[in-house]
Amino acid sequence: MIKAVRGTRDLLPPETALWNFVESAVRDVFRAYNFQEIRTPIFESTELFARGVGEETDIVAKEMYTWEDRGRADSDKGQSLTLRPEATAGIVRAYIEHKLGDRGLNKLYCIGPMFRRERPQKGRYRQFYQIDAEIIGPPSAGSESPARDAEVLEMLATLLDRLGITGWTLELNSVGCPNDRVAFNEALRKALDPVKDKMCADCQRRAVTNPLRVFDCKVPEDQPIIDALPRISQFLDEGCRKHFEAVQEILTKVGIPFSLNDRLVRGLDYYTRTAFEFTHGALGAQNAILGGGRYDGLSEALGGPAAPGIGFAIGEDRLVMSLQESASAAGVVKKPDLYIAPLGAGMNAEAARLARELRRHDLVADLGDETFRLKKSFEAATKAGAKYILIVGENEVKTDAFALKNLATGDQISVPRADLPRRIQE
Ligand code: AMP
């Protein structure tokens, strides 16, 4: 038997109804903030991610699905391509390529699959889905303003509330500017030097290549060492500190609760200033529903114009998981209103005509087959979870009135064709 590849999975009904519920809430909420959809390719040139995400990140170093494409002619060397591991790099590439900055401020979102070769576990897959949104534009359009950071965070709180997801926590930090980080990295290296030999293998490597990443460590024995390290908050310059304070001030005014977490550093190189994460208690070890932050230097790193931006990626798999406990998701899975049972030769056509009429009235109708005996039709209707069964036999067609039976109560009545939609909708 051929099975789905490790780390990938089929999203099956009825759960897919929850995915649609999430996506339509996302579209509604984002619309109110004037976000518009962008759809970028699922694969891009490898160089985009190497430059946009950073060669030293786990994603680029270990987790990408990369292959060499065939050239045009057999002798051509192909281009190196990669399945997108995240969405921001592709969106910023499109921003540069199509000169979207000429339109001023852009609010863009996309929904789709991402690919990372991580170790699969509950809430962590190799093909997973992200809902990604970005605000990006030239500085003159206000893209650098702390008002944008607060707007994005307030939108996320609104979305989670709308989905009925309670018990989330917003953790907030500022990772400063590249300048601040030079000084911070220096201080970190100094502090790590005498203690790094006592740390895990990953941290020993990070201490040399990218000390900031030590804060991502989850190994319990390393935590006391990490707790004693200097913090980025001590290294923010005046501009970054003011920016961060302004974000917090707006959030407080609009009533979005948050907690400061100065250990929060993002796994991607291009982040500046605000970094954030929403977590949810019910998710277990992989408890981050979404993460994001500012990336003021990304466009320039990709050869584009100055285009500060802020964005986030929601893990849709995890959002749906936390939704399964939410009351607002109840009733999302829709059962058919009725099952139409043609009874006897020639009745398929009559049933099809009736089904067509009823579906035009927005009724959800399932349809059987004239070769089914009545007992089999009843079983099929029950299995489908239909509210009613409607019998289309020779007698019914002759009188133009049909036997309608409520499957829960067992009540059966004969209903004239014209009254059917109203009777079933009631
Ligand atoms: P990141 O792009 O790493 O900042 O991740 C943003 C969000 O995507 C995380 O908070 C998770 O909810 C989700 N996510 C990241 N990696 C995975 C994965 N391998 N499987 C499922 N969800 C993921």
**For 230-263, how does the pLDDT look when each residue is reduced to its tens digit (9 = 90+)?**
999 999 999 999 999 999 999 999 999 999 998 8
Residue 182 placed within a domain: no
CA distances from 156 to 47, 292, 326 (A): 31, 11, 17
301, 345: one domain: no
388, 298: one domain: no
Q: What is the band of 71 on the pLDDT scale with cuts at 50, 70, 90?
A: confident
Residue 196 placed within a domain: no
Residues with CB under 6 A from ligand 1: 86, 116, 118, 123-125, 128, 130, 267, 288-291, 313, 315, 317-318
118, 19: one domain: yes
Identify the CA nearest to 203 among candidates 275, 59, 193, 53.
Answer: 193
Q: Is the CB of residue 367 less than 8 Å from the CB of residue 386?
A: no
315, 356: one domain: no
CA distances from 196 to 13, 200, 206, 207 (A): 49, 8, 10, 7
Identify the CA nearest to 183 among candidates 225, 232, 229.
Answer: 232
The minimum-distance atom of ligand 1 relative to the CA of 116 is: 19
Instruction: Say what the pLDDT of residue 50 is.
Output: 92
Ligand 1 centre from 315 Cα, in Å? 5
Ligand 1 centre from 27 Cα, in Å? 20
pLDDT at 8 over 90: yes
Question: In a mutational test of the pocket of ligand 1, which residue from 295, 318, 321 has the highest number of ligand atoms less than 8 Å from its CB?
Answer: 318
CATH value at residue 86: 3.30.930.10
Residue 205 placed within a domain: no
CA distances from 105 to 6, 99, 112, 148, 307 (A): 41, 12, 23, 11, 9
Domain that holds residue 273: 15-177+237-329
**Sign of the dihedral through C-alpha 383, 389, 392, 393:** positive
Instruction: Say what the pLDDT of residue 249 is.
Output: 98
Identify the CA nearest to 149 among candidates 238, 32, 272, 40.
Answer: 272
Ligand 1 centre from 343 Cα, in Å? 52
HSE toward the beta carbon, residue 343, CA cutoff 13 A: 20
pLDDT tens digit sequence for 361-376: 999 999 999 999 999 9
pLDDT at 56 over 80: no
pLDDT at 209 over 90: no
Of the three residues 285, 310, 329, the one that is the final residue of a domain is 329
